[in-house]
Amino acid sequence: MAGLKKGIEKMNWYLYSNENSDVVKSTKIKFSRNLSEFKFNLKSKEEIEKLENKVKENLYDIGYGLKFLRLQDMDEITKKSLVEKELISSSFSIKRYGSILINDEENICIMIGGEDHLKIQVFSAGLDLENTLNLAIELDEKIGELLGYAVNKKYGYLTSSPSNIGTGLKASVRVHLPAISKTRNTRKVFDAIGDFGINIKEVYKGKGDMYQISNKKTLGISEKEIVKNLKVIVQTVIEQERQARKLIAQDEINLSDLIYRSFGILSNCRKISSEEEIELLSNIKLGVDLGILDELTDVKVQKLYLYSKPANLQKYLGQKYDKEELEIKRAEVIKQIIKEN
């Protein structure tokens, strides 16, 4: 992972489909944790190295096939590729010092030495909040026993940000809502669920109809209650999106035309930007999910999403490119993925 490496991405969690994958792209559980023997907000190389050494001493006992990797040993494209996969945050990627624990499947990634000592993250495809939470709790409890967390009897887990005190849990679900967008009901839906203590943000800044829904409250509520409440909200959004899809599907000719025009551009272009591909992919994924477009599979759609992103495309090709070259190479890789058996 330290440098560019050419090759097809193995079937990691983000290339699979799961329950409700027609609307829900992914589930993430994140715990913010600090160790009792270290001060908060570590800044210096020496302080962070002491924290890293503490983690490394216990790496075998933590298990889960986790490997230790330092940020300073990674090239910039590798770090950006991890950001694009949502495995690390952009603010963490630019730190001079810090490290991660990550397994081969990449469904577990722990950031070390960031805003908090540890950000324990577990990922899964589709809507899988309970199972993802159970794995995260299992991992979290094991690390806590080995390393010793900073905990207050009254407030729970202590974190650098007051918004995370308590459980320290951020549960988030990424959803694809093209039909709600096309029926111009996005604001109405978001205003309604915003009253239930939920955060909603666009993933691609106005393009691609992809949104992330997460909890706000972490104090005075259990982890399982947080996940239960979030799931109720997400299931409501899923139902509204599916109802909107039924509505737009009534205009069969225009919907099919939009989907196949998007597919035609994507499969025949000679160059394409990441932003344009994301916009076209929203229509194409909708077509695949509705059974209108049978030229692609779910796995191919997930690959197109992954390799539309600049750093992951360059990792895939094993070479650095400037912006113009990257748009040409992206078009070539798109054709390659579409033609795969």
Backbone dihedral angles phi then psi of residue 293, each to the nearest 5 degrees: -110, 110
Q: Would you state the pLDDT for residue 4?
A: 45
CA atoms within 13 A on the CB side of 152: 11
Euclidean distance between CA atoms 167 and 157, whole angstroms: 6
Residues ≥6 apart with Cβ < 8 Å to 117: 33, 34, 35, 38, 40, 42, 51
Euclidean distance between CA atoms 211 and 37, whole angstroms: 38
Q: What is the mean pLDDT of each run of 10 residues along the chain (341 residues)?
A: 49 82 96 92 91 96 96 95 95 94 96 95 96 97 95 87 88 96 87 80 88 89 93 94 96 96 96 95 96 93 93 94 95 94 77
Q: Would you state the pLDDT for residue 11?
A: 64
Looking at residue 129, its amino acid is: L
Q: Would you state the pLDDT for residue 1?
A: 45
Looking at residue 216, its amino acid is: K
The burial class, CB within 10 Å (0-12 / 13-18 / 19+), for 86 is middle
Euclidean distance between CA atoms 172 and 29, whole angstroms: 7
Euclidean distance between CA atoms 50 and 64, whole angstroms: 23
Q: Which structure tokens are listed for 331?
A: 């078009």
126 near 26, Cβ under 8 Å?
A: yes
Which secondary structure element, helix H or strand E, spans residue 30, and what is its range? strand 24-33
Residue in 87, 11, 27 with CA at minimum distance from that of residue 300 = 11
Euclidean distance between CA atoms 97 and 324, whole angstroms: 32
The structure's pTM equals 0.91
